Amino acid sequence: MEATAVEESRVTARKDNDLTPIPLMELVTGFWGFKTLTAAIGLELFTHFSRRGPATCEAVCTVLRLERRPTDALLAACASLGLLEKSGDRYRNTALAEKFLVIGRPFYFGSFVRFSDQREYPAWHHIVDALRKNQPTAWDPEAQESPFIPQDPVMRDLFLEAMHSLSTFTAKVLGDTCDFTGYSRVLDVGGGSGAFLTELCRRHPHLSGTVFDLPHVCDIAQQKIAAAGMDHAVTTFTGDFHSDEPLPTGYDLILLSMILHNWDETTNRRILAKCHTALRPGGTVMVCELVLNPERTGPRSAALMGMNMLVLTDGGQNYSQTDYETWLTEAGFEEPSLIPLDAAGANAALVAVRS
């Protein structure tokens, strides 16, 4: 017994000696990469490369009106992040930057970067206040009723654009992973810019759908849907899922994508109850979210999104698979099941049938 204890102590000592602060350094400096990206977006670096082609550091200095030292640092950093590549003395966009970081491209992700920088990043400076007070730091709940009011210029001008690219590619993964052959009409509750339904109906032509959202959001959705050439399949319906009014009926699938993490449990149960009422027997509800595991220890994307909800919302958080299955069952749905997803906006779809 004594010899075993000594050996275990030696193993523990060796493990302790192998520890380094590198993982902590990577956590601490994570914002360096983010702020490098925001700077490049603000300077329209990737748009310039897309328009002009490969360029030397000197040429970029001229275009961006920067001195050589900061230009060299920016180009090296963007190359290290996989956003630029270098051949000889010339830099150019990688495929990732060319597709998502060039202004005017269909899936431009720069709006999400700008939204995160202007709304989320400043709020995170006060994360301890959010933890201590259990209140958002991105907006004042005593001054406005919701973070989604149209009078907020950041939300009005950036949020829906920010979510459009994220939703499109999450919908692509969902459309390729889940079986939609048994559905015909989809109601997307809180459907935003219509990106989700546009992509689902494009991938599954037998589907038609309706975006249910606030009036100013539906105005934007109609423009996006028409621009995508999908207004023959996707329509809008104005409403507020927080009101006492029922949801539209006549759909065999109701989609809640990246919605429920914004609200508290009571609100989410009420939303699911309204979905149950709106669906006919045999209809399905589908919840797409970054879902915590039952132990609530990860994955990291879901857990950190939960922290983000502390600064952005007055009741939202990221919930576990167990939470969603319990709420769905108690709302009257049967056979809740989880379908794993590998998407930026969701790691799972929870599917349940109305009894």
Q: Which residues are catalytic?
A: 261
Question: Distance between CA atoms of 82 and 94, rounded to whole angstroms?
Answer: 7
Question: Distance between CA atoms of 180 and 299, rounded to whole angstroms?
Answer: 27
The b-or-e profile of 201-235 (16+ CB within 10 A means b, else e) is bbebeebbbbbbbbeebbebbbebbeebebbebbb
Helix (H) or strand (E) holding 2: helix 2-18
Identify the three-state secondary structure at position 175.
Answer: helix
**CA dihedral (52, 57, 62, 66) positive or negative:** positive
* 162, 155 contact by CB (below 8 A): no
Q: What angle do CA 350, 355, 274 make, to 5 degrees?
A: 70
Q: How many residues does the chain have?
A: 355
DSSP bridge partners of 90: 56, 87
Angle of helix 30-42 relative to helix 68-80, nearest 10 degrees, comes to: 120
Residue 332 CB partners (closer than 8 Å, separation 6+): 273, 276, 354, 355
DSSP-assigned letters across all residues of 109-173: -HHHHHHIIIIIHHHHTTHHHHHHHTS-SSS-TTT-S-TT-TT-HHIIIIIHHHHHHHHHHHHHH
Read off the tokens for 127. Answer: 């994360």
